[in-house]
Amino acid sequence: MRSPIIYLKNLFGILGRKIRYAGRFSAGWIQTFDHLHTEIYGKGSIKLGAYNQNRGNLYLVANNGKLEIGDHCFFNTGCCVTALESIKIGNGCKFGNNLVIVDHDHDYKKAMDSDFITEKVVIGNNVWVGANVTILRGTTIGDNAVIGAGCVIKGNIEPKSKIVQKR
DSSP 37: E
d(CA 94, CA 98): 13
Q: How many domains does the chain fold into?
A: 1
Confidence at residue 111, expressed as pLDDT on a 0 to 100 scale: 63
Chunk the chain into consecutive blocks of 10 residues (it has 167) and report each block's average pLDDT, rounded to whole numbers. Answer: 76 90 91 91 96 93 98 97 98 98 88 81 98 98 98 98 85
Confidence at residue 114, expressed as pLDDT on a 0 to 100 scale: 66
Average pLDDT across the chain, whole number: 93
Indicate which CATH number applies to the domain containing 112. 2.160.10.10
Contact 103, 85 (CB under 8 A): yes
Indicate the helix (H) or strand (E) that contains 8: helix 4-20
Confidence at residue 9, expressed as pLDDT on a 0 to 100 scale: 84
Contact 28, 7 (CB under 8 A): no
Question: What pTM, to 2 d.p., does this model score?
Answer: 0.93
What range defines the domain where residue 149 resides?
4-163
